[in-house]
Amino acid sequence: MPSIQPRNSIFEQLDTYGHKKIVFCNDPDTSLKGIIAIHDTTLGPAMGGTRMWNYKNEQDALEDVLRLSKAMTYKCAIAGLNMGGGYSVIMGDSRQDKTEALMRKFGRFIKNLNGEFVTSEDVGTNPRDMEYIRMETEHVTGIPESLGGSGDPAPVAAKGVFMGMKAAIKELYGNDNVAGRSVIVQGIGHVGENLVKLLRDENAKVYVSDINDDRVRQVSKKYGAEAVSNNSIFDLSADIYAPCAMGATINTQTIAKLKCGIIAGSANNQLQNETEHGKMLVEKGILFAPDYVINAGGIISGYSELMGYNKKRALQLTENIYEATRNVLKLSKAENISTIDAANKIAEKRISDIKKVKSTY
């Protein structure tokens, strides 16, 4: 995908990825500064997380929400969901600036979209926050199980990443055993910790890193993983690198250093530049399991909640990520294209096929 040029006008930035709509949510009373981006609604209402992050500036927040919402269009398409792509970001430190009023006010902005956007948890938000949003609008998923929702989507997201990782292991090593494989998990928050558990349960050797030292201490002790400093992860040799923090960790500088056979993690938008870095990974012989293909478990969980939540069904759909990843890897090999290009091709085909279906009312 092309890079957003910050010096362009807002409309030019929306045109970069073909966005439909953007809503700036500004409320001085609750200190809310948020952005909702709707990328594409061909398949259905836009669905995507709400991220609360201490962005350096407004441009960084805008760029993040545009990239995240576009990825959601592709994620929903390839996962076979009848939902489009959207995302929202709230500027601020989730540990200090988050209040009930701020989240509920944000819920009101979602309500004003009349169902065009449905949200759920992401970095910096949790089921409690979704409960606050639910007080103002029904267009939210991931509310606590005690209230009839699907709860935290992170364990389901981790399960999907695990299935996608296994599909990549199968491609490279001929069997999908995780036992004995070494995996670096970068970012051990909601999804990362659940992934560490799944990996350790099947006897993988796991290295963990995070910018939060307390998390590293707790998680490494709890699961018998080895703590590594965040600065040294790209110097470490391992079978798999699992980015589970923020996006764009795979770029020209890190690809030069990476010493792994597979990249498979939960972070959204791992490649700083899809075309350039997808190609560089092919040249270096690193197998990239496309992020939006393997991290779809979270959105599958939210989608199931909209359809009348059934945990078993959500987990079954998430297990299909193994086959979806295998299909992407097969197409990439058959057409000699990068795995991200192969995933994009499959997703775009579904969107274009369903567009034809919808031309009859």
Ligand X SMILES: NC(=O)c1ccc[n+]([C@@H]2O[C@H](COP(=O)([O-])OP(=O)(O)OC[C@H]3O[C@@H](n4cnc5c(N)ncnc54)[C@H](O)[C@@H]3O)[C@@H](O)[C@H]2O)c1
Annotated binding site for NAD(+): 187-192
# chain residues binding ligand X, by CB under 6 A:
28
Closer residue to ligand X in complex, CB, 26/212: 212
Closer residue to ligand X in complex, CB, 4/68: 68
Q: Is 187 in the site for ligand X (CB under 6 A)?
A: yes
- Count CB neighbours of 78 within 10 A: 25
Tell me which residue has tokens 């390839």: 78
Closer residue to ligand X in complex, CB, 242/280: 242
What DSSP string runs through 290-320?
Answer: -HHHHTTHHHHHHHHHHTT--HHHHHHHHHT
Binding-site residue set: 187-192
Please identify the residue of the shown chain whose CB is closest to the bound ligand X: 189
* Chosen residue from 211, 311, 323, 352 binding ligand X by CB under 6 A: 211
What contacts 9, CB < 8 A, 6 or more positions away? none
Question: What 8-state DSSP symbol labels residue 286?
Answer: P
Distance in angstroms (rounded) separating the CA atoms of residues 118 and 111: 9
Distance, CA of 59 to chain centre:
20
Q: How far is the CB of 355 from ligand X (least distance, A)?
A: 26
CB distance 88 to 72 below 8 Å? no
Closer residue to ligand X in complex, CB, 69/209: 209
* Chosen residue from 45, 85, 153, 290 binding ligand X by CB under 6 A: 153
Closer residue to ligand X in complex, CB, 154/289: 154
CB distance 241 to 263 below 8 Å? yes
CB distance 209 to 233 below 8 Å? yes
Of residues 268-307, those binding ligand X (CB under 6 A) = 268, 295, 298
For strands 32-40 and 84-91, give the pairing.
antiparallel
Q: Which stretch binds ligand X (CB under 6 A): 34-42, 174-182, 241-249, 250-258?
A: 241-249
Half-sphere exposure of 244 (CA within 13 A, CB side): 34
Q: How far is the CB of 55 from ligand X (least distance, A)?
A: 13
Half-sphere exposure of 231 (CA within 13 A, CB side): 0
Q: Which stretch binds ligand X (CB under 6 A): 28-36, 54-62, 149-157, 348-356?
A: 149-157
Q: Is 215 in the site for ligand X (CB under 6 A)?
A: yes
Comparing C-alpha atoms, which of 317, 343, 318 is closest to residue 329? Answer: 343
Q: Is 155 in the site for ligand X (CB under 6 A)?
A: no
Tell me which residue has tokens 């398409």: 77
Assign 42 to helix, strand or coil: coil
Give the per-residue contact string, 319-358, with ligand X (x = CB under 6 A; - = no): ----------------------------------------
Query: Phi and psi of 250, rounded to 5°?
Result: -105, 105
* Chosen residue from 4, 65, 157, 300 binding ligand X by CB under 6 A: 157
Cα angle 271, 273, 278 (rounded to 5 degrees) comes to 65
For strands 46-53 and 117-121, give the pairing.
parallel
Q: How far is the CB of 347 from ligand X (least distance, A)?
A: 16
Tell me which residue has tokens 């994620």: 75
Q: How far is the CB of 124 from ligand X (least distance, A)?
A: 6
* Chosen residue from 119, 141, 186, 339 binding ligand X by CB under 6 A: 186
* Chosen residue from 40, 116, 121, 136 binding ligand X by CB under 6 A: 121
Q: How far is the CB of 42 from ligand X (least distance, A)?
A: 21
* Chosen residue from 190, 196, 225, 305 binding ligand X by CB under 6 A: 190
Closer residue to ligand X in complex, CB, 33/75: 75
Q: Is 122 in the site for ligand X (CB under 6 A)?
A: yes
Q: How far is the CB of 172 from ligand X (least distance, A)?
A: 23
For strands 117-121 and 84-91, give the pairing.
unpaired
**Binding site residues, ligand X, CB under 6 A:** 121-124, 153-154, 157, 186-192, 209-212, 215, 230, 244-246, 266-268, 295, 298
